[in-house]
């Protein structure tokens, strides 16, 4: 009798185990199908961006600025370059940081090489001399001029594109315009940034309600303090002054630190949150499906070695009264071809329009 009960229990146990195993396999199969379907849906929605047409004449000067009609020649690429000359999966970006309203505090040209999974950023000094007719011939005056005399933000971006082309030889494929609030939100979303602060930063400006108090050394900065670190120029009473080039280095340090945080496993899972912040706070012509593609590409970048930062080479300053930074044409050609040139053929000095300040 006991043996029969044991046999019955054994049969029931085997039946339960069999049902469990079958359920497990069915669940795994369904899960696999869902994952596979998700990948297919993801790949059908997320696409690499299309390169803007070379034939687009989108860089007409703002109203009343017809004397600057020849800036950039109204072309995206150097004269004679064609779409067939483009490198495969190579994209370029104009990155603009606005320091309140229409003032361009940061101007960069970046590239992403989807074949080699590498990125490069070249920072352009704000006081770089450009060949224009307006009274203030600094590159950071391009966006305000285009905004005021052109079509708002679009006019500002187009004017800056045209003037950047005279420096690098081509118009970047896409633009990303970030204001102060967006910067703070993005840094906070990644959990702050780890940077080395090279000196004590103590500065108070009650008129701007700006108060900076950051100690020298390794720091984890939240959004507000990261912004203060990136904006810092000098301390109270003219102490601890840094040059514009040191300031650019600080901005590049923040960008590298942000990339490191973005690539952490915890933040990779928050990509949708970052894209939401981007859509709400950043002015750009990158479409949502393309944004997702670029976000997916972050997984292929390993460490900050995949991101290299540079500063546009200069050859000296004009001094008083304007302190223009003269650009070094030969060094720029070499740097552009080494890093951000999206074409298989080299850009040459004749493709630029740089005033020789030597």
Spatial distance between the Cα atoms of 71 and 81, rounded to a whole number of angstroms: 17
Q: Are residues 73 and 17 in the same domain?
A: no
Per-residue confidence (pLDDT) for residue 102, from 0 to 100:
85
User: Residue 40's pLDDT is what?
Assistant: 40
Query: How do residues 172-192 score in pLDDT, each as one tens digit?
Result: 999 999 988 888 998 999 999
- Give whole-number Cα distances, 37 to 25, 162, 266, 268, in Å: 18, 44, 24, 21
Q: Are residue 150 and residue 8 in the same domain, yes or no?
A: no
Distance CA 112, CA 89 (A): 8
Same domain, 133 and 211: yes
Q: Residue 31: its pLDDT value, please?
A: 40
**Does residue 204 fall inside a structural domain?**
yes
Q: Let me know whether 226 and 314 are in one domain.
A: yes
Q: Is residue 77 part of a domain?
A: yes
Q: Minimum mean pLDDT among 43-52, 173-182, 207-216: which range?
A: 43-52
Weakest-pLDDT range from 21-25, 297-301, 333-337:
21-25
**What whole-number distance in Å separates Cα of residue 186 and Cα of residue 182?**
6
For 32, the domain range is 1-45
Residue 150 pLDDT greater than 90, yes or no? no
Token code pair at residue 324: 């223009």
Cα separation, 87 vs 180, in Å, equals 34
**Residue 59 resides in a domain:** no
**What pLDDT, on the 0 to 100 scale, is given for residue 60?**
54
> Do the domain assignments include residue 227?
yes
- Classify residue 237: in a domain, yes or no: yes
Query: Is there a single domain that holds both residue 136 and residue 239?
Result: yes
208 vs 114: which has the higher pLDDT: 114
> Among residues of the chain, what percentage have pLDDT more than 70?
80
Residue 24: predicted pLDDT:
47
Do 102 and 165 lie in one domain? The reply is: yes
Question: Does some domain include residue 57?
Answer: no
- Judged against a pLDDT cut of 60, whether residue 194 lies above it is answered with yes
Query: Does residue 65 have a pLDDT over 80?
Result: no
Q: What CATH number has the domain bearing residue 123?
A: 3.40.630.190
Which region among 181-185, 265-269, 330-334 has the lowest average model confidence (pLDDT)? 265-269
Looking at the structure, do residues 34 and 88 belong to the same domain, yes or no?
Answer: no
Higher pLDDT, 151 or 60: 151
Give a yes or no: residue 135 inside a domain: yes
pLDDT higher than 60, residue 332: yes
Same domain, 189 and 291: yes
Average pLDDT, the chain: 82
Are 271 and 199 in the same domain? yes
Q: What is the pTM of this model?
A: 0.82
Q: If pLDDT is split at 50, 70 and 90, which confidence band does 20 have?
A: very low
- The lowest-confidence range among 51-60, 296-305, 342-351 is 51-60
Alpha helix ranges (H) inside the chain: 2-45, 142-149, 152-168, 180-189, 223-231, 244-262, 265-268, 271-281, 288-297, 329-338
**How many domains does the chain contain in total?**
2
The mean pLDDT value for 282-308 works out to: 78
- 81 and 196 within one domain: yes
Query: Does residue 325 fall inside a structural domain?
Result: yes
At 300 the pLDDT is 72
Residues 344 and 266 in one domain: yes
Regarding predicted confidence, which is higher, 184 or 46?
Answer: 184
5 plus 118 within the same structural domain: no
Instruction: Supply the pLDDT for residue 174.
Output: 94
């Amino acid at each position: 009798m006991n043996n029969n009960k044991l046999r019955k229990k054994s049969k029931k146990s085997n039946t339960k185990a069999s049902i469990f195993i079958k359920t497990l396999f069915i669940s795994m199969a369904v899960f696999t199908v869902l994952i596979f379907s998700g990948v297919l849906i993801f790949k059908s929605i997320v696409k690499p961006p299309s390169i803007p047409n070379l034939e687009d004449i989108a860089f007409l000067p703002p109203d009343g600025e017809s004397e600057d009609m020849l800036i950039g020649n109204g072309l995206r690429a150097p004269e004679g370059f064609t779409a067939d000359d483009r490198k495969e999966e190579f994209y370029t970006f104009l990155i603009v940081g606005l320091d309140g309203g229409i003032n361009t505090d940061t101007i960069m040209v970046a590239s992403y090489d989807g074949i080699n999974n590498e990125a490069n950023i070249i920072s352009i000094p704000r006081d770089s001399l450009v060949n224009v007719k307006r009274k203030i011939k600094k590159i950071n005056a391009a966006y305000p001029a285009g905004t005021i005399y052109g079509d708002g933000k679009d006019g500002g971006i187009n004017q800056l594109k045209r003037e950047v082309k005279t420096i690098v030889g081509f118009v970047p494929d896409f633009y990303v315009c970030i204001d102060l609030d967006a910067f703070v939100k993005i840094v906070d979303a990644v959990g702050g940034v780890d940077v080395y602060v090279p000196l004590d930063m103590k500065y108070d400006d009650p008129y701007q309600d700006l108060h900076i108090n950051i100690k020298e050394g390794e720091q984890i900065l939240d959004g507000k303090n990261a912004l203060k670190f990136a904006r810092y120029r000098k301390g109270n009473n003219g102490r601890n002054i840094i040059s514009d080039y040191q300031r650019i280095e600080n901005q590049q340090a923040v960008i590298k630190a942000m990339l490191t945080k973005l690539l952490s496993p915890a933040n990779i899972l928050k990509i949708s949150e970052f894209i939401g912040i981007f859509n709400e706070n950043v002015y750009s012509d990158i479409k949502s499906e393309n944004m997702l593609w670029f976000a997916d590409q972050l997984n292929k970048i390993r460490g900050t070695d995949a991101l290299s930062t540079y500063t546009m080479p200069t050859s000296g300053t004009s001094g008083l009264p304007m302190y223009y930074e003269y650009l070094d044409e030969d060094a720029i050609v070499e740097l552009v071809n080494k890093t951000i040139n999206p074409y298989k053929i080299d850009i040459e000095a004749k493709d630029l329009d740089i005033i020789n300040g030597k």
